[in-house]
Amino acid sequence: MNSSAQPDWNCFARTNAAQRWRKQSAAMGRHMTEAIVEEAKVEPGMDVLDIACGTGEPAISIASLVQDRGRVVGVDISPEPLKLAAERARQRNLTNIEFQQADAHQLPFPDRSFDRISSRLGVMFFSELPKALSEMRRVLRPNGRIALLVWGPIDQPYFATTVLTVMKFLPGSKIPPGAGAMFQLGTPGILTRLLKNAGFRDAEDHLRKVEWSWPGPPEEVWEYFQQLTVPFRSLLESIPEEKRKAVNQAVLNEIRKYYDGEQVNFTAIACIGTGTC
């Protein structure tokens, strides 16, 4: 998470793109958010920490569940996405949520501060995940629950139609190291082992398929992917200019296979790990 190889989630272009596509992105990720909230077993009155919250989910959804008697803190290493998260919370008139910049490897909270910890599509990038998990356990209260959601295998529609299609035009190309990290925890059993090693009880993980649909045409999906999926940026920038038109056409042809005239109906495969303090 604080590694020099860490993707630049705070870059200006990505922040602007996140703002531009915020409604479509929220719609696409809604079912994944619902999945981790369900796995976290959040109840009214709880104190919840959402780690690597980015532009605000699932922290914002959780804030509605814990109600006024509860409290949600969303943290992220990058400050710019947190500004968007705070604005989204204000728009929803949520007063039981706050966002702050923090490193998961050194959380700025006392021991036993929270009843639940969640993290959606974040922990794959932590430079020292065992250390971060130890910190999460430290700030959880006895019998507190952790729920972590990461990407499953790369061979699923969102990535197969985009980056895997691109790679067919680039002989000898490889997934960039930062992008490869996205899928390093997606094999069942890995999160279970890491959680057990960090001292969590009843640790387990499983794959879960959810809807991952974009409410718009294929052209938007491809533009969004190029602007927001930072770990693949070096690969996309390596496309020779003379091949770019053919690559774009091939990607759009693959995405159109999932398009019903109104939205692109992908599914996503995530791996969800849970444990108890």
Give the 3-state secondary structure percentages of the chain, helix then strand then coil, rounded to 5: 45, 25, 35
In a domain, 74, yes or no: yes
DSSP symbol at 181: G
Does the pLDDT of residue 27 top 70, yes or no?
yes
DSSP symbol at 101: E
In a domain, 2, yes or no: no
pTM score, whole prediction: 0.91
CB 118 within 8 Å of CB 58: yes
Instruction: For residue 128, count other CB atoms closer than 10 A to its CB.
Output: 14
121-175: per-residue pLDDT in tens?
A: 999 999 999 999 999 999 999 999 999 999 999 999 999 999 999 999 999 999 9
In a domain, 5, yes or no: no
Does the pLDDT of residue 257 top 60, yes or no?
yes
Q: How far apart are CA 168 and CA 89, in angstroms?
A: 42
Give the CATH number, domain containing residue 54: 3.40.50.150
Residue 50 tokens read as: 């959402």
The predicted structure's pLDDT at residue 178: 85
40-65: per-residue pLDDT in tens?
A: 999 999 999 999 999 999 999 999 99
Number of domains present in the structure of the chain = 1
Indicate the pLDDT class of residue 229, thresholds 50, 70 and 90: confident
- Name 47's bridge partners: 71
In a domain, 50, yes or no: yes
In a domain, 6, yes or no: no
Collapse the DSSP code of 189 into the 3-class scheme (helix H, G, I; strand E, B; otherwise coil) and give the result: coil
In a domain, 59, yes or no: yes
Mean pLDDT, the chain, rounded, equals 93
In a domain, 7, yes or no: no
The predicted structure's pLDDT at residue 157: 98
Query: Domain range holding 105?
Result: 12-276
Does the pLDDT of residue 2 top 90, yes or no?
no
85-127: per-residue pLDDT in tens?
A: 999 999 999 999 999 999 999 999 999 999 999 999 999 999 9
The predicted structure's pLDDT at residue 7: 56
Q: How far apart are CA 167 and CA 163, in angstroms?
A: 6
In a domain, 238, yes or no: yes
